[in-house]
Chains A and B, each alone.
Chain A
């Protein structure tokens, strides 16, 4: 039978003393998918990753990889490989030896392991850097070496702990594409921890939003963005206004809101707090009469048809069917 999931978490809990960093989370990661664990710091995403890697003991629950319960196996037997946030390249070894490390500890003869390591340097486009030491490389190059060093173990699942956070914004986008390309080519699952919703949206097949040791929502980035399950999710993934409405709370996408003529549409009145020109669109921050902060993202053409400035009276409106009622 075809195995549907690469990784399954069953009520996984991590307790530090009395506090639960990860509180009974369950998750199924389908075959060959790019999964992003997303959440603010302290939400338990890194603990979850480290439990999957075996660098942190599981307090309760089980983790399955390729249908095998690996909860009590040592790291090396789990079929995982981890890429550390700071890359953790060995400073005393050159790049080729760094990549060949896992073969060395397995007793693979020198010539063979060096040839194999060279293959993986080629894979990450670092063929000519074998003789360099990590300190001689830029951040992006170090990351490629770290990637090669993890992949040479032929993992079933690659675990990445905030892999892009040490890079400058330009390189981050390039490496992001590269990670996605590698994941597709290798056909294995990647689990990528990040606190950047932009990164998660760009990469993930499965986006898992965590808060306070719980999974608050899991789904494709589009599903999460279009149907945020709670005010927290709506705020965290951005692009939404969270507004009090008829005794409850609703989320409305900022780019679906408009200013001015309301017609029959639901609306709130207030004042313009700030206007930011962003090229293709203009971001108008509005403070409603009730003191709620909201944002309307307007196409530049619409904004300049009837421009507003800070302090102006404004009416924020949205199509009825764009409002999502939120559970509290």
Chain B
């Protein structure tokens, strides 16, 4: 094991600011994760319990309820819709933001305007964007739907995000890699395929995951553009306002577990990619 940094004599006595900031941070963490923790605990509520404490025994009945026909019938369907939509959003976001990120490296005419238009779409109130798209579809006499208006509405949110993420990724990309590839005889396509994309891959996975997550829990833009069929967040919201049971908490627990699983897998992949490039081995001179 590596030895820690040398400890000075003064290490024993921390300044009061340390305790003040530590307290603040602890409160912040509690505020952030406390409510979620309550949800997770209450999702294991006993069969006779309600949506608040105290717990009346424990059970997994609420989890079983999710897939039982009945009140929750729409949950699995809307879950599938959400996943499908998020997947499409994620792919489109990657395609467009990677291309744009590479394109923005040079100052083409209008690049400034285009950049600010993308920023504007992040600043725009999301409800208004959804409203506008919904109205536009109605005005044109088109039906709103999952893979038309809702997809577009979500892209207004994920594309600028993806673009900014790609800026950060592309910033660390050394132009000389591409020149070296050209120098060694690679065509434009080979350069992209064998050099640019593989080097950017960890960043691209990050953008894909980010876009997926943003889409998966998007509410405000989607609600006005989705048409008659709900995504999971909309379905849950509808359930909260109509009926309440710990089943909602169970759904929350399951989706969180799912998210953590996905995040874990992608971090693992990124970690593996980077480890492959910089495996720690003793250097020989």
Interface residues in chain A, defined as those with a beta carbon under 8 Å from any beta carbon in chain B: 53-55, 74-76, 80-82, 84-86, 88-92, 101-102, 104-106, 132-138, 140-141, 149-150, 153
Q: Please, could you name 13 A-B residue pairs with CB atoms under 8 Å apart, sorted by A?
A: A55-B179, A55-B183, A74-B182, A75-B183, A90-B180, A91-B277, A92-B198, A92-B277, A101-B186, A104-B194, A105-B187, A105-B194, A138-B284
Whether the pair A136, B176 counts as a contact (CB closer than 8 A) is: no
**Number of B interface residues in the complex (CB < 8 A):** 27
Question: In the docked arrangement, what's the CA distance between A101 and B184, Å?
Answer: 7
Whether the pair B179, A88 counts as a contact (CB closer than 8 A) is: yes
Interface majority SS on B: helix, strand, loop or mixed? helix
Question: In the docked arrangement, what's the CA distance between A137 and B279, Å?
Answer: 11
The answer to whether the Cβ of B148 comes within 8 Å of any Cβ in the partner chain is: no
The 6 A-B residue pairs with the shortest CB-CB distance in the complex, in nearest-first order: A88-B176, A102-B184, A135-B278, A76-B185, A88-B180, A105-B186
Question: In the docked arrangement, what's the CA distance between A54 and B278, Å?
Answer: 32
Given contact pairs A106-B185, A133-B279, A153-B185, a sample of 11 additional A-B residue pairs in the complex whose CB atoms are under 8 Å apart: A55-B183, A84-B179, A86-B176, A88-B176, A101-B194, A105-B190, A136-B278, A136-B281, A141-B284, A149-B184, A150-B183
Question: In the docked arrangement, what's the CA distance between A141 and B276, Å?
Answer: 18
**A105 contact from B184, B276, B277, B278, Cβ within 8 A:** B184
Question: In the docked arrangement, what's the CA distance between A134 and B177, Å?
Answer: 13
Whether the pair B184, A153 counts as a contact (CB closer than 8 A) is: yes
Whether the pair A136, B283 counts as a contact (CB closer than 8 A) is: yes
**For window 156-200 of chain B, which residues contact chain A by CB distance below 8 Å?**
174, 176-177, 179-187, 190, 194-195, 198-199
A82 (CB) vs chain B CBs: closest residue: B183
B177 (CB) vs chain A CBs: closest residue: A88
Whether the pair A53, B276 counts as a contact (CB closer than 8 A) is: no
B176 (CB) vs chain A CBs: closest residue: A88
Query: Chain A residues near B182 (CB, 8 Å)?
Result: 55, 74-76
Question: In the docked arrangement, what's the CA distance between A91 and B277, Å?
Answer: 6
B187 (CB) vs chain A CBs: closest residue: A105
A134 (CB) vs chain B CBs: closest residue: B277
**For window 228-285 of chain B, which residues contact chain A by CB distance below 8 Å?**
273, 276-279, 281, 283-285
Question: In the docked arrangement, what's the CA distance between A135 and B206, Å?
Answer: 22
Query: Chain B residues near A102 (CB, 8 Å)?
Result: 184-185
B276 (CB) vs chain A CBs: closest residue: A133
Query: Chain B residues near A81 (CB, 8 Å)?
Result: 183-184
Question: In the docked arrangement, what's the CA distance between A91 and B196, Å?
Answer: 11
Whether the pair A137, B283 counts as a contact (CB closer than 8 A) is: yes
Question: In the docked arrangement, what's the CA distance between A75 and B184, Å?
Answer: 8
Question: In the docked arrangement, what's the CA distance between A84 and B187, Å?
Answer: 19
Whether the pair B277, A135 counts as a contact (CB closer than 8 A) is: yes
Query: Chain A residues near B177 (CB, 8 Å)?
Result: 88, 90
Whether the pair B194, A136 counts as a contact (CB closer than 8 A) is: no
Query: Chain B residues near A84 (CB, 8 Å)?
Result: 176, 179-180
Whether the pair B199, A91 counts as a contact (CB closer than 8 A) is: yes
Query: Chain B residues near A75 (CB, 8 Å)?
Result: 182-183, 185
B193 (CB) vs chain A CBs: closest residue: A105
For residue A202, give the distance in angstroms from its CB to the closest CB of chain B: 22
For residue B8, give the distance in angstroms from its CB to the closest CB of chain A: 32
Query: Chain B residues near A89 (CB, 8 Å)?
Result: 180
Question: In the docked arrangement, what's the CA distance between A227 and B277, Å?
Answer: 51
For residue B156, give the distance in angstroms from its CB to the closest CB of chain A: 33
For residue A52, give the distance in angstroms from its CB to the closest CB of chain B: 12
Question: In the docked arrangement, what's the CA distance between A54 and B174, Å?
Answer: 18
B202 (CB) vs chain A CBs: closest residue: A92
A77 (CB) vs chain B CBs: closest residue: B185
Whether the pair B185, A86 counts as a contact (CB closer than 8 A) is: no
Query: Chain A residues near B186 (CB, 8 Å)?
Result: 101, 105
Question: In the docked arrangement, what's the CA distance between A56 and B189, Å?
Answer: 20
Query: Chain B residues near A88 (CB, 8 Å)?
Result: 174, 176-177, 179-180
Whether the pair A53, B183 counts as a contact (CB closer than 8 A) is: yes
Whether the pair B179, A101 counts as a contact (CB closer than 8 A) is: no
Query: Chain B residues near A106 (CB, 8 Å)?
Result: 185
Whether the pair B183, A86 counts as a contact (CB closer than 8 A) is: no
A100 (CB) vs chain B CBs: closest residue: B184
Query: Chain A residues near B185 (CB, 8 Å)?
Result: 75-76, 102, 105-106, 153
For residue B117, give the distance in angstroms from its CB to the closest CB of chain A: 28
**A101 contact from B181, B201, B278, B284, Cβ within 8 A:** B181
Query: Chain B residues near A80 (CB, 8 Å)?
Result: 183
Residue in A80, A105, A153 whose Cβ sees the most chain B Cβ within 10 Å:
A105
Question: In the docked arrangement, what's the CA distance between A124 and B21, Å?
Answer: 56
A146 (CB) vs chain B CBs: closest residue: B180
Whether the pair A92, B199 counts as a contact (CB closer than 8 A) is: yes
Query: Chain B residues near A136 (CB, 8 Å)?
Result: 278-279, 281, 283
For residue B182, give the distance in angstroms from its CB to the closest CB of chain A: 5
Query: Chain A residues near B181 (CB, 8 Å)?
Result: 90, 101, 105
Query: Chain A residues near B199 (CB, 8 Å)?
Result: 90-92
Query: Chain B residues near A53 (CB, 8 Å)?
Result: 183
Question: In the docked arrangement, what's the CA distance between A80 and B180, Å?
Answer: 12
